[in-house]
Amino acid sequence: MRNFLRIGILLLMSTFTLQAQQGWEAGFWGGGSWYFGDLNTSLDLSKPGLAGGAVMRYNFNERVCFKMSANIGKVSGDDADSRNIFEQARNLSFQSRVMDGAAELEFNFLNYEHGSKDAWFTPYLSGGLMIHNFNPQTEYEGNLVDLQPLGTEGQFIGEEYKLTKLGLAYGGGFKMSLSYEWSLDVFVSARKLFTDYLDDVSTVYADPEDIAQFHDELGAELSDRSIDILNVSAAEISAPGRQRGDSSTNDSYAYAGITLLYYFGDLRCPTYGSRKRRK
């Protein structure tokens, strides 16, 4: 916490001490998205989803910026891709569209100025808050089925996890000025979630009879899709009360991409009290 306070103080000090290169820029980005959680414990990056979004950035000076972004991507996970024999026997999978809006502060390591021959590039770090929406689904008999309403871990009706949550956004990248107006931003940005249900997997196996009673037979069937593999039996994996996921660690996802931005020049936020009185 002390380190975060120190960083915040330094950013505020640099905001008030440097005054050049103020103004807005906006653009669009495209790239990939990755999920990390109970159905991707090995941090596999081999199956990215498509992702993209829109960005607006206000430059306070050459070092500090405020960025707002709206983003959308696809994430997925599948126990069939795991090297862990128990996860293979668990045999769960999901996919979800994720949408989020983020507000972050950016800190440039080097002085950065649009159109400059000297200060035309910089690495940077960013961090802030975001709100996201997700909807885990799985394929069943050739169709995609929404998992949240089915109470696959024994949730009662009305007590299912929320599909819109807050989270943290943080990352870094590399900015390059192509001209006074245009620039490129190559970045990686992670999302630390305040939920462990992005993949619909978190705690333990519930009694399938209870799921069928409070929801329906489909929820009971999709809560347990375990199979026999080698010396691991499906009955052993999915007995009620046995671990289905790891609730001690929340899920996360990340974006990586390239942003093309247009700088509007000396277009600043409005200031108050700066107008002279008419005589």
Mean residue pLDDT of the chain comes to 90
pLDDT given for residue 269 in this prediction: 56
Residue pair 29/52 in contact by the 8 Å Cβ criterion: yes
Residue 215, helix vs strand vs coil = coil
Residue 6 lies in a domain: no
**pLDDT value of residue 265:** 81
Is 131 among the domain residues? yes
Q: And the tokens for 263? A: 């700088």
Token digits of residue 205: 């196996």
Cβ atoms of 72 and 51 within 8 Å: the answer is yes
- Whether residue 273 lies inside any domain: the answer is no
* pLDDT computed for residue 90 by the predictor: 97
Sign of the C-alpha dihedral, residues 182, 103, 18, 173? negative
pLDDT score, position 270: 58
Instruction: Give the CA radius of gyration of the chain.
Output: 23
Nearest to 169 by CA among 128, 125, 198, 132: 128
In a domain, 76, yes or no: yes
In a domain, 142, yes or no: yes
Residue 234: its pLDDT value, please?
92
* 270 located within any domain: no
Domain of 59, in residue numbers: 27-263
25 phi and psi, to 5 degrees?
Answer: -145, 155
Structural domains counted in the chain: 1
Q: 13 in a domain, yes or no? A: no
- Which pLDDT value is given to residue 16? 45
Confidence of residue 279 (pLDDT cuts 50, 70, 90): very low
Query: pLDDT for 197-240, tens place per residue?
Result: 999 999 999 999 999 988 889 999 999 999 999 888 998 899 99
The CA–CA distances, whole Å, from 38 to 79, 87, 94, 150, 190 equal: 9, 9, 11, 19, 17
Q: What is the pLDDT of residue 17?
A: 47
pTM of the complete model beyond 0.85: yes
CATH number assigned to the domain comprising residue 178: 2.40.160.20
Average pLDDT over residues 157-184: 96
DSSP codes of every residue in 105-122: EEEESS---TT-SSS-EE
pLDDT of residue 278: 42
For residue 275, tell me if it sits in a domain: no
CB 138 within 8 A of CB 129: no
